[in-house]
């Protein structure tokens, strides 16, 4: 016992300040470890967020590529049934001819001077070639559809244009614009594809 008492006497006594200082050091070390762990967690969460954003961007790019492929496929399918109308002078009258691949439905003919092309949703009323209004023009018909309108008649289409508005089997609307020269003969055809 005496030996134990001597040992205790040789040791410095711990007071409350030492205990408080040691506890503070341990607390600072624990807080530092927590800060490191939280920073690491935030870094990993940021990497996960970036990876998710990259994955969403890649998915969106794939969706866009698929949409483009679908649009190309639809255009190719439409090209197989796309009509293309124009007019020719045959004898003394104008005839509508389908030089496209598919039938033209619901034909409307509108003449005028420097007309803006009709849009897909425009209301159209035939004012020329009433005989063909709403008719069907098959592709490559051996006999063209007679408009019963005179070619080259003074004031009949001299310097004017004629719009042929029609639909394909798929329901898409097309417009062919035919320009006429001064004497009233067709000189230029433009096909507008929606």
Q: Where are the domains of the chain?
A: 2-79, 82-192
- Asked if residues 111 and 157 have their Cβ atoms less than 8 Å apart, the reply is yes
pLDDT band at 16 (very low <50, low <70, confident <90, very high): confident
pTM above 0.85, yes or no: no
Which residues have a Cβ under 8 Å from the Cβ of 135 and sit 6 or more positions away? 107, 145
**Could you tell me the strand order of the sheet in which 173-180 lies?**
105-112, 161-167, 173-180, 186-192
User: How far apart (Å, rounded) are the C-alpha atoms in residues 177 and 187?
Assistant: 11
User: How far apart (Å, rounded) are the C-alpha atoms in residues 183 and 156?
Assistant: 9
Asked whether the predicted pLDDT for residue 127 surpasses 90, the reply is no
**pLDDT tens, position by position, 149-189:** 766 554 466 667 888 899 988 888 999 888 887 666 778 88
* Average pLDDT of span 100-112: 87
Residue the block writes with tokens 């300040």: 17
pLDDT at position 78: 84
- Asked if residues 87 and 162 have their Cβ atoms less than 8 Å apart, the reply is yes
**pLDDT tens, position by position, 48-66:** 999 999 999 999 999 999 9
User: How far apart (Å, rounded) are the C-alpha atoms in residues 148 and 76?
Assistant: 35
């Amino acid at each position: 016992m005496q030996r134990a008492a001597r040992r205790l006497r040789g040791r410095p006594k711990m007071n409350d300040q030492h205990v408080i200082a040691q506890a503070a050091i341990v607390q600072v070390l624990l807080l530092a470890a927590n800060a490191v762990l939280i920073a690491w967690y935030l870094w990993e969460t940021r990497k996960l967020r970036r990876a998710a954003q990259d994955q969403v961007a890649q998915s969106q790019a794939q969706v866009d590529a698929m949409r483009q492929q679908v649009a190309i496929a639809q255009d190719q399918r439409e090209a197989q049934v796309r009509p293309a109308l124009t007019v020719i002078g045959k004898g003394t009258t104008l005839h509508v001819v389908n030089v496209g691949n598919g039938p033209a439905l619901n034909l409307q003919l509108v003449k005028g001077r420097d007309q803006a092309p009709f849009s897909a949703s425009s209301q159209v009323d035939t004012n020329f070639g009433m005989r063909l209004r709403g008719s069907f023009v098959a592709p490559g018909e051996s006999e063209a559809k007679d408009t019963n309108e005179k070619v080259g008649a003074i004031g009949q289409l001299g310097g004017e244009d004629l719009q042929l508005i029609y639909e394909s089997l798929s329901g898409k609307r097309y417009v062919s614009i035919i320009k006429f020269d001064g004497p009233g003969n067709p000189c230029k055809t433009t096909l507008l594809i929606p």
